[in-house]
Amino acid sequence: MSSTKSIVLSCAGIGSRLGLGQTKALIEINKKPLIYWQLQLFKEVEDIRIVIGYQANDVVREVLKTRKDVIFVYNHDYFNTKTGASFYLGAKDANEYVIEWDGDLLVHPDDVKLILQTDEEYLCYADISSDEAVYVKTNAHGDVESFSTEEGNYEWTGPACIKKSKLQYTTGNVYSQFEPFLPMKGLKIRAFDIDTYEDYKRVSEFIKTW
């Protein structure tokens, strides 16, 4: 991957919709925490910035078991903000291009390679599978034209890549960081976003297909 890119992994949230009483980065999937599986996918990435908030010390401890060279960024207002704020904070001192990655997202390893090798800005989406999806509408070329909570061709999952200079502080959802720049190049990937307990049960089967 180009050294001009950073990954910003947002792990500050409480994960309240999941109902397991811990931040999603620490939920166990096939006997390993979710963040362990993510870090395995990022072995070739030099610059990783992990945004922490809820259960921050536990997340740091878990990450350092796998990798010592990540940069931790605090979102102290994690209780009142969403992933849009975490992405902005994590990207502030990062490289020129930043790849947004949610702390509850797992992507098939083959598609991670595609994501990391794609040079320009892009948004990723997947076939609809989540119980509470945000949708994207695409054009004939597969570019993302809009986001919607009502309907769309695919499910917005992230990751996404954008120049950090385009980002603005927001307390809202991360996709609002990209809406002013649509349409953007789209990449269709195999991914699982863990929002609900049903999503959580399905993701164990997803990892087994790797």
pLDDT digits (tens, 9 = 90+) for 101-160: 999 898 999 999 999 999 899 999 999 887 778 999 999 999 999 999 999 999 999 999
Q: What is the predicted pLDDT for the residue at 193?
A: 77
Write the burial class of residue 35 (CB in 10 Å: 0-12 exposed, 13-18 middle, 19+ buried).
buried
Half-sphere exposure of 84 toward its Cβ, with a 13 Å CA cutoff?
16
Mean pLDDT computed over 20-29 = 79
CB atoms within 10 A of CB 20: 14
What band does 69 get if pLDDT is binned at 50, 70 and 90? very high
Architecture of domain 5-208: Alpha-Beta Complex (3.90)
Cis amide linkage into residue 33, ω under 30° from 0: no
Structure token pair of residue 194:
């863990």
What length does the chain have?
A: 210
Residue 161 predicted with pLDDT over 90:
yes
Q: What is the predicted pLDDT for the residue at 142?
A: 96
Q: Chain centroid to CA 18: how far?
A: 16
Contact assessment for residue 6 and residue 99, using Cβ atoms and an 8 Å cutoff = yes
Contact assessment for residue 116 and residue 124, using Cβ atoms and an 8 Å cutoff = no
Residue 195 predicted with pLDDT over 80:
no
Going by DSSP bridges, is the β-strand pair 122-126/186-188 parallel, antiparallel, or unpaired? parallel
Residue 76 predicted with pLDDT over 70:
yes
Q: What is the predicted pLDDT for the residue at 19?
A: 53
Q: What is the predicted pLDDT for the residue at 31?
A: 86
**Residue 140: which residues within 8 A CB-CB, separation 6 or more?**
none
What band does 81 get if pLDDT is binned at 50, 70 and 90? very high
Q: What is the predicted pLDDT for the residue at 17?
A: 56
Q: What is the predicted pLDDT for the residue at 21?
A: 66
Q: Higher pLDDT residue, 14 or 35?
A: 35
